[in-house]
Amino acid sequence: MKPFSYERAASPAEAAAAAARRPGARFIAGGTNLLDLMKLQIEVPSHLIDVNGLALDTIEPTPEGGLRVGALVSNTALAADPRVRRDYALLTRALLAGASGQLRNKATTAGNLLQRTRCPYFYDTAQPCNKRRPGSGCAAIGGFTRQLGVIGTSDACIATHPSDMAVALRALDAVVETVQADGATRTIPMADFHRLPGETPHIETALQPGELITAVVLPRPLGGRHIYRKVRDRASYAFALVSVGAVVQPDGTGRVALGGVAHKPWRVEEAETELPRGARAVTERLLAGARPTRDNAFKVTLVERTLGSVLAEARG
């Protein structure tokens, strides 16, 4: 491991200002992703800003009838919150489908959104990877691509975003709240938070350097049936090959977001108008323009079948 300095931030604004002063700095929350990457020297921060002392670990009601989830609320606490279980069951189910109990106890809401891809070539520092080293190339293209993306990919990167929680937040239209280095705050809709890879796959989100996530806001509850179905190679402790997060209303309308297929949680609102016509019609619109590889073309069929089973469950 490379040497680095460490400080505990005293307030969110100070944390953001400190990060902006030190270009090689990173925030550390639960550390369950960042420390693994530091051990492999994929992330080599010169300075760590520990945000765990910031009072960002509560879940509060909003005046609009939703919930504000502090950036440091653990995945376990968020999944277990009675209000979340009752009104945002999709989020509870997605969280519980991720990682393990021990990891969820440490993992935070902000850290989960910002976890890095699980593309195997990203972790192999002997291989070219535009995300790890911009401009070096992409070993995955033409390599082993079973786990990788089928839509929204580029000639520079075909990785997927690994978070289960983010799929639920996208379907629920959550909003990310942040503070910037100058103390200004802003909100970023989940739809715009994660980026497609394009020519710059190392820039993964809409965050500016040093910008700190302070909370994630859930809008008013949607009602309906909330289902999260994750298909993976092992029954636990594995990332999604494909996941489907859905909120389905009694009249058959609803929302659908996918995990395991793109560089961001994948949702196409127009495709949701096809929900009453069934899984095939929705999948055709959701995955229009998909560019699967020989290894992962099965994901297109898997999306349709997983969505079909989700819709059958929603119909009872």
Ligand X SMILES: Cc1cc2nc3c(=O)[nH]c(=O)nc-3n(C[C@H](O)[C@H](O)[C@H](O)COP(=O)(O)OP(=O)(O)OC[C@H]3O[C@@H](n4cnc5c(N)ncnc54)[C@H](O)[C@@H]3O)c2cc1C
Q: 109 or 130, CB closer to ligand SF4?
A: 130
Residue 316 CB partners (closer than 8 Å, separation 6+): none
Beta strands in 162-253 (DSSP E): 175-179, 185-189, 212-218, 225-231, 242-248
Position among 122, 193, 228, 239 found at the interface with ligand SF4 (CB under 6 A): 122
151 binding ligand SF4? (CB under 6 A): no
Q: Is 244 exposed, middle or buried (0-12, 13-18, 19+ CB in 10 A)?
A: buried
Q: 52 to each of 33, 71, 213, how far by Cα in Å?
A: 15, 10, 13
Interface with ligand X, residue 32, by CB under 6 A: yes
- When asked if residue 31 is in the footprint of ligand X (CB under 6 A), the reply is yes
**Does 176 engage in binding with ligand SF4 (CB under 6 A)?**
no
Minimum separation from the CB atom of position 99 to ligand SF4 (A): 20
Window of 63-71, 106-114, 153-161, 251-259 that interacts with ligand SF4 by CB under 6 A: 153-161
Binding pattern to ligand X, positions 92-111, x when CB under 6 A? ------xx---x--xxx-xx
Query: What spatial distance separates the first Cα and last Cα of the chain, rounded to whole Å?
Result: 52
- Strand, helix or coil at 228? strand
Q: Does 260 bind ligand X (CB under 6 A)?
A: no
228 binding ligand X? (CB under 6 A)? no
* Site membership for ligand X, residue 27 (CB under 6 A): yes
List C-alpha distances in Å: 236 to 117, 258, 283.
18, 19, 26
Q: Which of residues 136-195 bind ligand X (CB under 6 A)?
A: 162-165
Least separation in angstroms between CB 225 and ligand SF4: 35
